[in-house]
Amino acid sequence: MQVNEQKGLFMKKISAVAALCTIVSGAAFAGFQPNNPSPMGGFVGGTENIVTVSQAKEMRDDTPVIVQGHIVQRMGDEKYLFEDSTGSITVEIDRKDWRGQTVTPSDMVKLYGEVDAGLFKTEIDVDYVTKM
C-alpha cells in the first residue's frame, strides 16, 4: 500500500510540474506583438486606433500611437513637423523608418510610433511611415 501512495504522490508532482510549465510558457508569449509589420506583409491586427495630434500631446511617455496627417516641413536631422486638423507636433523619423518611401507635404501619411513626452515638449518617435 505504501508503494501505491508513493506512486500517487509522484504522479501528482509530475502533473503539477507539467501544469506549471504550460502556464509559464503560455504567459511568456501572451503579450508578444511585433513593433512593426513583417517586411513580407500580411495581416497585422484589427482596427487601428488613430489619435489626433492634440490627443497625442496629452498622452504619457512611451504610449504607442498612430497619427494620420501630413509631414509639412523638415526641421533638422531626422526631425520633421507633422500636422493634422487639430495641430502640429515634432516627429523624429530615422532613415530606416521611411522604408524607401518618398513623401511630400501634399501626401497623406500614417505614422506609427510612441509618444516622447519631455519636460517642456512632447514629440513622437516614429517606428515606421505608411504613405496613404
- Model pTM score: 0.65
Examine residue 37 and state whether it is found in any structural domain, yes or no. no
Residue 103 pLDDT > 90, yes or no? yes
Examine residue 96 and state whether it is found in any structural domain, yes or no. yes
Contact in structure between 105 and 72 (CB atoms under 8 Å): yes
CA distances from 93 to 47, 52, 87, 96 (A): 24, 18, 19, 8
CA 90 to chain centre: 19
Examine residue 88 and state whether it is found in any structural domain, yes or no. yes
Examine residue 106 and state whether it is found in any structural domain, yes or no. yes
Same domain, 105 and 58: yes
- The 10s digit of each residue's pLDDT in 66-89 is 999 999 999 989 999 999 999 999
Same domain, 15 and 77: no
Number of domains in the chain: 2
Q: How far apart are CA 82 and CA 124, in angstroms?
A: 9
Same domain, 106 and 58: yes
Percent of the chain whose pLDDT exceeds 90: 60
Same domain, 22 and 67: no
Write down the residue that cell numbers 504613405 correspond to.
131
* CATH number of the domain that residue 81 is part of: 2.40.50.200
Determine the structural domain holding residue 6 and report its residue range. 1-30
